[in-house]
Amino acid sequence: MFHSPILPRVRKRPRPAEAGIPRREEVKFDDVRLYLVERKMGRSRRSFLTQLARSKGFIVEDILSDVVTHIVSEDSQASSLWTWLKGCDLRNLTSMLVLDISWFTDSMREGRPVAVETRHLIQDTLPTVPEGSTPTPVTTVSQYACQRRTTIENSNKIFTDAFEVLADSYEFSEIEGSCLAFRRAASVLKSLPCVVRCLGDTEDLPCLGDHTKAVMEEILQYGRSFEVEKILSDERFQTLKLFTSVFGVGPKTAEKWYRRGLRSFSDILTEPDIHLNRMQQTGFLHYEDISRAVSKAEARALGNIIDEAVHAITLDAMIALTGGFRRGKEFGHDVDFIVTTPELDRERTLLPDIIDRLEQQGILLYCDYQASTFDITKLPSHRFEAMDHFAKCFLILRLEGSKVEGGLNCAEEDRRGWRAVRVDLVLPPMDRYAFALLGWTGSRQFERDLRRFARSERRMLLDNHALYDKTKMLAVSLAGRVEERSSFSLCLFVSRPRSLPLMCRLSRVGVGQAATSISSIHQAVGRVAERG
């Protein structure tokens, strides 16, 4: 029997290392300097990713130093990574972005540095306590948003962003309880003056259930929530978020379009069986403008336009800028105004007159006018209603760049010199002005908790129309001075904004009646604000 000889295995000749070949890549992104952490990545993979990034125009530093702007790591253990980073003697570590490898792969796929999202960040989970210092005592936080001071700065954005994604997901699935739970949790964390660094910091905080704490724990450990990442990558969620970003498209319409197999704007606009209403048509027509944030300077410019239009019709009218801008925000998605007049029943005809004047000026791009259905005999209302019954109109106005101090908030390549902006006008009777002002100033969660606080803690019913004391079986009046502090202070846990004064004009005509109502609400606000 013959046996074939066993030949020795032939070793393949190794390929020449590309790293040894000097090659100068073109730098496209001067303001981004990467450092790839070799820990958990390995030397050969790090070398390959370094060459890949440099081939796409990125600067990749071989040594970790203070010139680095973006640190990229595959180490899923945030605590060990940050322990190592803090031992590297970096002066600018706090200004560097410490990112998961997912940001790197997204950037390589796009061929440019993509925007850093919550899911990309690897957060520091190690609290830094100076030697000899004692822990700061935890201040009691109310379960009601109307009793919490909330600054414009959000110290816990990495958590609240995740909660808002989860809340949106539950809202799309019509699971109201879970949606509300995550919105309440986000509201609580936004009110904190410091960063939550461990779950122990949340021990005495209200409105944080097992699910919210599990999400926080995951973010503290890994720098991201895998549940949130799964939602963000879900086709249905992405599609519903896209569709509901259009003016006039709500969750139900978006869901209907999704079930029909539509996935993009082009799918909708080319589908012959889809019939858009006038609001939706306008939403698509001005989508780029409406989806872009409105600046404070643009809000001021629109305030001047509305003020001029209103007082050209009636001199005794009063105008107030409300919404996020009245709370001091720098940007918003639209601009809200309350207009009122002491002239009896004038609010029923004033709004159409304002709309006509804006149209004559050639700046009215869209108008949805809703006449007043307010009926004082139907007060108090025992059910929560998302919208009040005052006359109102939802507008889209053409805002010229020449009217805005510092120019428009628009893309650099936009040469039109104007943009479309959403503006809401609400016109309550003078004796309902204070309630409407309060209702249109607070955030959605603030207003919800304000009503809940009134009902649960003070046995009162509050909405945009009135405050009703159930124990005395009467409505609280603002016709004169507020004598009983307890009767109205419960719903005024909001002070006048410091950064953006209330825009109003009082003329000689009817100033007495207007001033009485305004001074009443502001006196009550001032007294409550002193209590913190």
Report the CATH number at residue 162. 1.10.150.110
pLDDT in tens, 385-437: 667 889 999 999 999 999 999 889 887 788 899 999 999 999 999 888 888 88
Write a three-state SS string for 324-374: HHHCCCCEECCEEEEEECCCCCCHHHHHHHHHHHHHHCCCEEEEEEECCCC
3-state secondary structure of 372: coil
Same domain, 112 and 176: no
Same domain, 177 and 266: no
Same domain, 75 and 155: no
Query: For this structure, is 124 an active site residue?
Result: no
pLDDT recorded at residue 44:
87
Same domain, 355 and 399: yes
DSSP 254-323: HHHHHHTT--SHHHHHH-TT----HHHHHHHHTHHHHTSPEEHHHHHHHHHHHHHHHHTT-TT-EEEE-H
Same domain, 300 and 380: yes
Query: For this structure, is 62 an active site residue?
Result: no
Report the CATH number at residue 424. 3.30.460.10
Do residues 181 and 208 make contact, with C-beta atoms less than 8 angstroms apart? no
**The residue type at 258:** Y
The C-alpha atoms of residue 115 and residue 68 are separated, in whole angstroms, by: 17
Tokens representing 356? 């006509």
Same domain, 172 and 266: no
334 among annotated binding-site residues: yes
Active-site residue, selected from the candidate residues 168, 316, 334, 388: 334
Rg (alpha carbons) of the chain, rounded to whole number: 29
Domain boundary among 400, 429, 458: 429
3-state secondary structure of 147: helix
pTM: 0.66
Residue 473 lies in a domain: no
Integer angstrom CA distances of residue 97 from 63, 124, 331: 16, 11, 24
Query: For this structure, is 424 an active site residue?
Result: yes
Structural domain count of the chain: 4
**The residue type at 186:** A
- The closest alpha carbon to 41, from 30, 53, 33, 57, belongs to 53
pLDDT in tens, 285-325: 999 999 999 999 999 999 999 999 999 999 989 999 999 99
- Give the containing element (helix H, strand E) for 398: strand 391-400
Tokens representing 360? 């004559």
pLDDT recorded at residue 265:
96
pLDDT recorded at residue 1:
47
Tokens representing 313? 């019709």
pLDDT recorded at residue 148:
85
Same domain, 40 and 111: yes
DSSP 69-88: -EEEE----HHHHHHHHHTT
Cis peptide before 380 (omega within 30 of 0): yes
469 among annotated binding-site residues: no
pLDDT recorded at residue 6:
54
Domain of residue 180 covers 145-232
pLDDT in tens, 467-502: 888 777 777 665 533 333 333 344 443 333 333 333
388 among annotated binding-site residues: no
Do residues 399 and 290 make contact, with C-beta atoms less than 8 angstroms apart? no
List the beta bridge partners of residue 467. Answer: 462
Q: Chunk the chain into consecutive blocks of 10 residues (it has 532) and report each block's average pLDDT, rounded to whole numbers.
A: 52 49 71 89 88 93 92 80 86 87 90 84 62 51 85 89 96 95 95 90 91 93 90 96 96 96 96 95 95 94 96 92 91 94 84 96 96 80 74 96 90 87 94 88 88 86 82 63 35 36 30 39 38 35
List the beta bridge partners of residue 121. Answer: 99
Residue 204 lies in a domain: yes
List the beta bridge partners of residue 396. Answer: 366, 422
Active-site residue, selected from the candidate residues 289, 336, 449, 469: 336
